[in-house]
């Protein structure tokens, strides 16, 4: 019996073609899946369970001189309101939030940003503290507020009483924008002087620091001098800020000791017999206050 002659059937697709087709299908499915996930992720990301708003941000307790909500201000200024989610990449989320708060004038430094379940952020930062008020020469009644680093703070955030209670630096020209550093060397020296006094500034009833309009020049040394005014109008010729003293002038500690010894011997600077002027730069000299007589006494 003769064998039947059979011809093998060719496969519809070769093996490489089948693999290529499978990869194509997977690519299409992957693209569709990615699009579906992106749409779902946008919805999930914006849900209240993952969204980070001002209410979900924890800051250190604000000091008494900060009356505004820094959380809302920071997010609004950085256009991050309703635009933060704990599903964001951690580094991106932390950087965006840290930059938003570092830009705030009341924030001196952002130390860390930490995510806490389920959708909160804990931010460690350092606040700025008002250190002095600047009375510009062109508008002395408009007190501008600086911190210890010389950065201008939002004076409108403080009450008039809070601004008036600060040590004042008088006769200063110009001003930086809020959040910028005041680079005038007269301001820098005044802040150094006020900071060195510490609590003694109020104990001695000091109110104003008035820098000289032009620097003293001795060789390569250039420095400004300062007069200090008390609440009763007495003037203390103090001289230079700490660290700028020429060899002919006493240092801060010696000048403060002279002033304190005078007060211990003669009473408070604002007493009836206190002098109009006291010079402590290289010794102690005083000019007595002139007491006005009553009109009847003047006739005699």
Predicted TM-score of the model (pTM): 0.77
pLDDT score recorded for residue 132: 97
Name the one residue in this structure whose structure tokens are 């004038």: 105
Structure tokens at 53: 């708003």
CATH number of 54-127: 3.10.20
Give the C-alpha separation, 16 to 14, whole Å: 6
Structure tokens at 33: 């899946």
Of residues 49 and 7, more confidence is placed in 49
Q: What's the pLDDT tens digit per position in 104-154?
A: 999 999 999 999 888 899 999 999 999 999 998 766 678 999 999 999 999
Give the C-alpha separation, 67 to 251, whole Å: 39
- Report the C-alpha dihedral over residues 124, 125, 126, 127, rounded to 10 degrees: -120
Beta strands in 128-280 (DSSP E): 130-136, 144-147, 152-153, 168-172, 206-211, 216-218, 221-223, 225-230, 235-240, 277-279
- The CA-atom distances, in angstroms, between 20 and each of 12, 23, 28, 33, 287 are 14, 5, 12, 20, 102
Structure tokens at 289: 């206050």
Contacts of 195 (CB under 8 A, 6+ apart): 131, 148
Of residues 86 and 122, more confidence is placed in 122
pLDDT score recorded for residue 297: 43
- Residue spans per domain, the chain: 54-127, 130-287
Closest C-alpha among 112, 105, 96 to residue 146: 105
Q: What's the pLDDT tens digit per position in 208-265?
A: 999 999 999 888 888 999 999 998 889 999 999 998 888 889 999 999 999 999 988 8
């Amino acid at each position: 019996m003769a064998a039947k002659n059979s011809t093998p059937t060719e496969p519809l697709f070769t093996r490489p073609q089948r693999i290529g087709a499978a990869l194509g299908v997977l690519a299409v499915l992957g693209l569709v899946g990615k699009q579906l996930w992106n749409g779902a992720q946008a919805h999930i990301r914006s849900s209240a369970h993952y969204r980070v708003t001002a209410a979900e941000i924890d800051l250190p307790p604000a000091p008494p001189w900060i009356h505004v909500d820094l959380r809302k201000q920071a997010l609004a200024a950085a256009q991050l309101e309703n635009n933060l989610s704990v599903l964001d990449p951690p580094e991106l989320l932390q950087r965006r939030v840290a930059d938003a708060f570092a830009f705030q004038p009341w924030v001196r430094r952002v130390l860390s940003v930490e995510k806490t379940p389920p959708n909160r952020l804990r931010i460690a930062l350092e606040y700025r503290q008002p250190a002095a008020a600047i009375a510009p020469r062109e508008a002395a009644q408009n007190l501008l507020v600086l911190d210890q680093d010389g950065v201008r703070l939002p004076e409108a955030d403080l009450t008039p009483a809070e601004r008036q209670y600060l040590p004042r630096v008088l006769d200063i020209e110009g001003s930086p924008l809020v959040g910028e550093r005041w680079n005038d060397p007269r301001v820098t020296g005044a802040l150094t002087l006020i900071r060195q006094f510490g609590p003694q500034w109020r104990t001695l009833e000091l109110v104003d620091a008035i820098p000289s309009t032009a620097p003293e020049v001795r060789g390569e040394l250039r420095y400004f001098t300062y007069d200090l005014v008390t609440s009763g109008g007495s003037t203390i010729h103090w001289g230079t800020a700490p660290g700028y003293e020429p060899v002919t002038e006493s240092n801060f500690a010696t000048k403060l000791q002279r002033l304190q010894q005078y007060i211990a011997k003669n009473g408070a600077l604002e007493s009836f017999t206190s002098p109009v002027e006291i010079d402590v730069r290289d010794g102690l000299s005083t000019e007595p206050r002139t007491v006005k007589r009553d009109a009847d006494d003047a006739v005699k």
